[in-house]
Amino acid sequence: MSVAGSVGRVQPARPGDPSRVGPYRIIGRLGSGGMGVVHAGLTADGLRVAVKVIHLAQAEDPEFRARFRREVQLSARVQGPCLVPLLAADAEAAEPWLATAYAPGPTLNQHLANYGPLVDGTLYAFATGTAQALAAIHQTGVVHRDVKPQNVILTPAGPRVLDFGIARASDGTSVTRTGIITGTPGWISPEYYRSNTAGPEGDMFAWGALVAYAATGRLPFGTGAPDVVAFRVMSDDPDLVGIPEQLREILERALAKDPSERMTAAEAGEECSRLLASQATQVLGGDGGLELTRVGELVAAEWDMPALDDPTWHARSSPSLGRTVVAVLVAAAVVGGVAGAALAFPAGGDSDASGKTSAAASPADGRTPSTARPANVPTPPIRLEGAGDVSESSASPRNAIVPSDPLAGVSNPAFTRAGETTEPTSEEWRASTVASTSEEKGVEKAIRDRMAAMLATKDMDFMTPMVTFNKRAQSVMVTGGPISQIPEDDQEVFRRAGDMAACTALAYRLKEHPATWSYGRFVISWKNVDGDLEPSVLGFGEATDGCYSVIAGQWRGDESGIATAGIPSSDKAEIRVAGAADRAITAAWNARIAEGNGLEPFGSSDAIDLGFDPVEKAAYVWARDTDGVLIGRAQRSDFQDAVSMPLCQKLTAEYNSNQTWNYTRWSVVVYEGNSRVPELIGSGECSH
Residues 232 and 222: beta-carbon distance below 8 Å? yes
Residues 6 or more apart whose Cβ sits within 8 Å of residue 235: none
Residue 618: C-alpha distances to residues 272, 333, 379, 612 (Å) = 59, 22, 16, 6
- Amino acid 184: pLDDT: 63
- Whether residue 137 is predicted with pLDDT greater than 60 in this model: the reply is yes
Burial class (CB in 10 A: 0-12, 13-18, 19+), 258: exposed
Q: Which helix H or strand E contains 469, and what residues bound it?
A: strand 466-470
By the 8 A CB rule, do 522 and 509 touch? no
Q: What is the mean pLDDT of residues 559-576?
A: 89
Most confident region among 316-320, 500-504, 579-583, 589-593 by mean pLDDT: 500-504
pLDDT above 60 for 82: yes
H and E: helices and strands count for the chain = 16, 22
Q: Which residues contact 176 (CB under 8 A, 6 or more apart)?
A: 67, 166, 168, 182
Quick one: which H or E segment has residue 161?
A: strand 158-161
Instruction: Dump pLDDT digits (tens) for 437-454.
Output: 999 999 999 999 999 999
CA distance 507 to 401: 10
Residue 327 has pLDDT above 60, yes or no: no
Domain boundaries for CATH 1.10.510.10 within the chain: 108-302
pLDDT band at 366 (very low <50, low <70, confident <90, very high): very low
Question: Of 340 and 625, which is predicted with more confidence?
Answer: 625
Q: Which numeric CATH code is attached to 108-302?
A: 1.10.510.10
What's the helix, strand, coil split of the chain in %, to 5? Answer: 35, 15, 50
C-alpha count within 13 angstroms, C-beta hemisphere, residue 591: 10
Q: State pLDDT tens for residues 270-311.
A: 999 888 888 654 434 444 444 544 566 677 777 878 766 555
pLDDT band at residue 207 under the 50/70/90 scheme: very high
Q: Select from 678, 675, 579, 681 the least CA-distant residue to 636.
A: 681
Question: Given this model, what pLDDT does residue 296 score?
Answer: 62
**Most confidently modeled range among 30-34, 385-389, 518-522:** 518-522
- Give the SS3 label for residue 435: coil
Q: Above pLDDT 90, what percent of the chain?
A: 34
Which has more confidence, 115 or 314?
A: 115
Q: Is the dihedral of CA 489, 490, 495, 499 positive or negative?
A: positive
Mean pLDDT of 669-676: 81
Q: How far apart are CA 496 and CA 558, in angstroms?
A: 12
- Residue 500: closest CA among 565, 468, 551, 547: 547
Strands 618-625 and 142-143 come out as: unpaired
Answer yes or no: is pLDDT of 392 > 90.
Answer: no
Contacts of 25 (CB under 8 A, 6+ apart): 19, 41, 42, 459, 568, 570
Closest CA to 385 of 402, 372, 373, 369: 402
What SS3 state is found at 433? strand
681 vs 92: CA distance, rounded Å: 46
> Quick one: which of 658, 659, 648 has its CA closest to 688?
648
User: Using 50, 70 and 90 to split pLDDT, how confident is the model at 354?
Assistant: very low
Which of 183-192, 246-255, 328-337, 487-496: highest mean pLDDT? 246-255
Say what the pTM is: 0.48
